[in-house]
A and B are shown apart, each in its own frame.
Chain A
Amino acid sequence: MSALTQTERDILAGIADYLIPEAEGMPSASQVNLASELADRVFAVRHDLVGPVRGALGKVPGLAGEVAAKKLADIDPEGFHAITTVASAGYFMSPKTREALGYPGQESRPFDPDKTTDYLEDGLLQPVIDRGPIYKPTPGL
């Protein structure tokens, strides 16, 4: 079952495109299918956002994105915060966004455990070693 009606989805799409337009080489919210697809993925793991988002969208029927966003920020900060959370969270989940950002996600990046001490080879740690102990000893106290 879908979390939003088509009407709600359309309002969300408008607001999301105002919040996240195409600019600076980054895609817009609608270019990554935010309202039509990613929002549902967010709602699937964050049921707590559905109520506040629907409540907020119901307060701005027929308003265009920017006007709706500004009105909600004013009259329903909590609902507006839920909308911005869904918009930004869904947006950053998109592979298209991640590619444009150069962010591979929290990927698996194995390493060679026997080659992690580059700071010993290039001397970065040497000054710390050379300065010697810095703790206050306590035996006898």
Chain B
Amino acid sequence: MAKNPGGRDEVADVLIIGAGASGSVAAAHLAKAGFSVVCLEQGRKIDASEYFGDKPEWEVTSQKQWHPNPNVRDLDTDYPINTDESDVNPLMYNAVGGSTILYAAHWQRFIPSDFRVKTMDGIADDWPFTYEDLAPFYDQMEEEMGVSGLSGDPAYPAGKAPPLPPLPINKIGRKAAEGMNKLGWHWWPSPNSIPSKPYRGRNACVRRGTCLTGCPEKAKASMDLVYWPDAIADGARLITGARVSKIETNEQGLATGAIYVDRSGRERRQRANVVIMCANSIGTTRLLLLSATGKASNGLGNSSGLLGRNLMMHPYAAVNGLFDEPMESWLGPSGQVIHSMEFAESDPSRGFLRGGKWQVMPSGGPLGLRAGYSGKALDDAWGANFHKNTLRTFGRSFEWGIIAEDLPEYENRVVLDSTLTDSDGIPSPKILYRNAENTRKLLDFHVARAREAMEAAGAIEISHTSLMRDCGWHLMGTARMGNDPETSVVDQWCRSHDVPNLYIMDGSTFVTSSSANPTATITAIALRATKHMIANRRNQEVAA
């Protein structure tokens, strides 16, 4: 039988599922405002000393236990995901801090038109608010995260400067910028949630370039560092190793809490007046589908039938340029050094709608370069050629990464798998996801332009990957927001249209995907919704 933790019959004011980017923001702000907050997180707390970025074993561990694909890591804290019918593998990390443990900390806002896609391009839908509505929350998030960047990027409306000076753009950033200048194309020193100076208890970045496998310097703004110490000091209770299997509801259809399995295998119950889902687009959909009841037979909060639909994962292409000069291209931050929004806006004459965001990042160490050789003939890949290839390319190349705006497609979705389960026996999700025609055309165009940019920068050899399979860093859609309960799952305050005390504050609520990295927007929306919840606490309907 399910028990409350420690036998207490505690009813929390708010129960948050998932201690990742959105859950951490909500938890910290609600606890500060005096709410009793419980957060259930299936993963554990990770200590910075566990990261390998400052050890020689860094690269070989990044291919297994620190890989962003949970199916490759295969840790007990992960849940397997069936990707047999997906063009892209979803990536994430399950721990206190969620995927920000591994994220690259590109702290990029969406552009204004991203919120008005239907009005401007006649496709998809508009968001229920505008860039201007969100701007103050972007500002506050930049402050809280300690973003380093240069104000004045002409790809955005004028606004508040980031709190910290920009990180260095290094030789690779300068080289890429020279190419862009020749073509007259936009570039800008990038904003990153990586402090260039010591900031609120975090250290300054020392450019190890290992952000994607966890920052050993306690510099990068991962949510375990940014929010949890304060949230806990303000009374929030973070229960780790707590794998939620179901959101419970009462006769009236109101949420009453959640059932979870602890690490001794016991089923427990946490009751609450309000439940906030922050388990990311895949984890949240999975749980709400698992929480189907007699009344809500196709999933909790799913009267629209849209739960799980319109999954967007930002297909990603890369153009690599090799130069005949050493550029120390392993040097961090990693982190983006420069980005370009030259082709982020729509131009229908290109044969597709919406656009892409480009960024330059360091190339990593020598082992990563080897990965590309697995398909080569033995004599080409090994022997003296092994050295020749390494010496010719290592430290002398960089990549323009291209994030494609992914349009919402009804058929791209998360469902429950019929056989696969996690280590607690809870059904796993399955991804059904295909790249749309628009995406393929968009990527072809962008790859061709990025090749021109590499050539202009003086690359002696250029290669590209049209679509990376392991590129589902950005999980969005599946519970879109909107004003109409028939065509959306939550309202603009992230509240379920069906269940008035159930909220979804992760990237699930995105109406469209922009081509910018999503976490600045996920957290700005979570912050906006949390503040609204605090301001309207007296009007909140709760289970009796």
> Which residues on A are within 8 Å of B, measured CB to CB?
18-21, 23-26, 41-42, 45-46, 48, 69-70, 73, 81, 84-85, 88-89, 92-93, 101-103, 105-111, 113-114, 116-119, 124-125, 127-129, 131-139, 141
Contact = CB atoms under 8 A, between A and B. Distances in A.
B206 A20 contact: no
B119 interface: yes
Contacts of A89: 59-60, 367
A109 B388 CA distance: 28
Given A19-B382, A42-B57, A106-B210, A24 B112 contact: no
Interface stretch (B94-102, B325-333, B411-419): B325-333
Contact of B113 (A84, A131, A136): A136
Interface in B126-175: 130-132, 148, 150, 152, 154-157, 164-169, 174
B61 to A, nearest CB: 5
A48 B166 contact: no
| 7 nearest A-B residue pairs (beta carbon) | A89-B60, A23-B384, A24-B387, A113-B196, A93-B56, A108-B206, A138-B112
Given A19-B386, A106-B330, A128 B207 contact: no
A46 B64 contact: yes
B155 A134 contact: yes
B452 interface: no
B395 interface: yes
Contacts, number: 181
- Which DSSP category, helix, strand, loop or mixed, fits chain B's interface? loop
Given A19-B382, A116-B166, A117-B189, 20 more contacts: A45-B52, A46-B64, A85-B63, A88-B370, A102-B326, A103-B395, A109-B208, A111-B196, A113-B197, A113-B204, A119-B189, A128-B154, A128-B180, A128-B181, A133-B155, A134-B186, A135-B156, A137-B112, A137-B157, A138-B113
A24 B384 contact: yes
Given A134-B155, A135-B345, A103 B165 contact: no
A116 B59 CA distance: 28
A70 B178 CA distance: 45
Contacts of B367: 88-89, 92
Given A46-B61, A124-B181, A129 B154 contact: yes
B161 to A, nearest CB: 13
B57 A41 contact: yes
A20 B366 CA distance: 14
Contacts of A105: 56, 58, 365
Contacts of B378: 69-70, 73
B510 interface: no
B394 A101 contact: yes
Nearest to B52: A45
B300 interface: no
B115 A138 contact: yes
B425 interface: no
Interface in B213-263: 217
A103 B250 CA distance: 61
Contacts of A117: 150, 165-166, 189
A4 B488 CA distance: 58
B539 interface: no
Interface in B251-292: none
B395 A102 contact: yes
B168 A111 contact: yes
Given A21-B384, A136-B120, A116 B60 contact: no
Given A45-B57, A135-B154, A20 B386 contact: yes
Contacts of A124: 174, 177-178, 181
B206 A110 contact: yes
A102 B54 CA distance: 17
A24 to B, nearest CB: 4
B342 interface: yes
